[in-house]
Structure 1
């Protein structure tokens, strides 16, 4: 069932109370990470989307996490079981000593960090929310670390209002790679993909998957734009 962002967000309040009054989501936290808003400027991790569940902090096409606990066996380890009871599909980059096997393959445009958590298995119509704490009001740009088997587009809302319009995601498909499944694991950095005005203080970003899907989204690296 499609869930509209308008079902969760209502009035956007002035500076000092940016987060919509009826938003029930909270910043992600666990025994490794404090439950505080991620900082802007800074790296905003997609896998640390807010707590609150389906229809509040995210919308996913099904309730199964197809990464944690499924592709990655539930063996008691932090990364393999990360948020495995939630609908958003999460996994992490895997490096091995033999080259060209996993996320450290030679077809990457950029080398991702090892054990980098990401949101994957994305489908058009899905979205997730991240509460951030913005140091100063103003214009920000952000790079995106991602993979994309077929290209597509995403967008960002700020406190429930579209702030970017569609953002084109370049495909990372590489015809030279003979291994079909690895076409989902060619990492790239889209520099300056996002340009957005943010108010100071607590702010909720909503990442929407608009077209194509099948992207892995690791993080947005926000910087003040000049």
Structure 2
């Protein structure tokens, strides 16, 4: 029997042949004679994973001996969290085969304690319009409130359920992560137990970010979704995804040109035609350049050898550029000429020796005074 399809409570007063909705709205007996930990053990295989984690983070005695209220996540909630973690890892190019053992114990410990409250917190104590402010074992802010269900066509005519919310360190309810109970108010020997619905994901919204902090970083990689081929055209505005310090560095805040991308790189409409690369970025140029700024592009070089690189530039002259492959200078210093206007374009060509395969191409600006449209690479 699948764990998430049916939750069997020995304390329920309903017949065993009823469906999930009957169990959802059934009223359990008010008291059982065993501890919270022992009660979970008695539910067969429904909480194997949860109990394993409780044992590992040394919460067993808390659930056996101390007076606590436990909003219980089901095993399927934990499995869903692991699946989300592996999806996030694969999205960022990491292996997607993490298990319970792969996640540090401190993550399991800190998140399991968000489901535990000191003392007895029953449904009657949560009957407020805005709920009640609650504090977890590690002092994390939570909220609990009652919510009526519908029954037999009557709005709010059914039994009460509880909404248990992680406040995510915000006083605004729109920022909270909410979990609903499937069964509530089971009084154990040492505390109170409420079972969360199987659709709840363990950790609310914090599990993946705590287990895999890299998931919080900006998405990295080629802006177009694939490496830019060389020979070919590299549009200035198609620098990589990843944010400041990873895909680019810009000395001021905001996009002064207000075009194409919502980042700190300054991009404007370009007056030079012929969008030969086919990318929308070809309609734009990077401007307002300053010394120490740079842009990074993921490129795929067809073959090792010498290439002509023509940089399309405009401006007052006096600029200095270096081209680097994987942070190794391949061009030396490139001086930018005066073209007579910020949209009067000319080509400056250099010969560069490039390796084959996928690499990072960086345009390093050592001195400003120019607009930058594109680079055209041709095999020599």
- TM normalised by structure 2 equals 0.39
Distance 1:148 1:121 in 2: 10
Deviation (angstroms), 1:26: 0.8
Structure 2 counterpart of 1:89, from 253, 262, 266? 266
Distance 1:50 1:222 in 2: 18
Question: In structure 2, what is the equivalent of residue 113 of structure 1?
Answer: 274
Question: In structure 1, what is the equivalent of residue 104 of structure 2?
Answer: none
Distance 1:38 1:201 in 2: 11
Structure 1 counterpart of 2:293, from 126, 129, 142? 126
- TM normalised by structure 1 equals 0.65
Structure (1/2) with the larger helix percentage: 2
Question: In structure 1, what is the equivalent of residue 119 of structure 2?
Answer: none
Deviation (angstroms), 1:112: 3.5
1:194 equivalent in alignment to 2:346: no
Structure 1 counterpart of 2:324, from 139, 144, 157? 157
Question: In structure 2, what is the equivalent of residue 27 of structure 1?
Answer: 222
Secondary structure in 2 aligned to 1:194? strand
Structure 1 counterpart of 2:232, from 42, 53, 68? 42
Secondary structure in 1 aligned to 2:300? strand
Distance 2:306 2:274 in 1: 27
Q: Structure 1, residues 142-192: CA drift from partner, whole Å, max 9, x if none?
A: 11111022332101111111111211111112xxxxxxxxx21211122xx
Distance 1:86 1:56 in 2: 13
Whether contact under 8 Å (1:155, 1:166) holds in the other structure is yes
Whether contact under 8 Å (2:316, 2:337) holds in the other structure is no
Structure 2: gaps (5+ residues): 1-218, 276-281
Structure 1: gaps (5+ residues): 1-23, 30-34, 69-79, 94-102, 104-110, 174-182
Distance 2:293 2:315 in 1: 16
Deviation (angstroms), 1:89: 0.6
Distance 2:251 2:333 in 1: 20
Deviation (angstroms), 1:62: 1.4
Residue correspondences, number: 156
Distance 1:124 1:113 in 2: 29
Q: Structure 1, residues 69-90: CA drift from partner, whole Å, max 9, x if none?
A: xxxxxxxxxxx4x11x211111
Whether contact under 8 Å (1:144, 1:189) holds in the other structure is yes
Per chain length, whose mean CA-contact separation is higher, i.e. which structure has more relative contact order (CA < 8 Å, sep 6+)?
A: 1
